[in-house]
Amino acid sequence: MDQQRPPSPPVQRVATDTPATIALVLGVCGLFTAGLTSVAGIVVGHVTRKNTPSQGLSTAAIVVSWVVTAMWALGWVLFLAVPLLALVGVVASS
């Protein structure tokens, strides 16, 4: 009583959007490169978004890249502004 199972259907491979993946990786790598690669992620994400039918990954790359860029920009502003404001406060009080 050996029953055979019907053959399983072939696995369909999902096409990945390589430029959008690269844009997302560049955006995330911006966390470790002071936001430099996230600027490239923004550019590649926008170019990819215009040229692909599936825009989800490209949109995610653009959003992540902008968030990382904004975090680093705010960090640099605070890093430079706090000592400058402290110096202005010391000069004004003397």
**Mean pLDDT for the chain?**
87
Report the distance separating Cα 62 and Cα 57, nearest Å: 9
Q: Is 77 a residue whose pLDDT tops 60? A: yes
- pLDDT over 60 (residue 62): yes
Quick one: DSSP state of residue 53?
S
pLDDT reading at 88 higher than 90: no
pLDDT tens digits, residue range 28-56? 999 999 999 999 999 999 999 888 876 89
pTM score: 0.74
How many helices (H) and strands (E) the chain has is answered by 3, 0
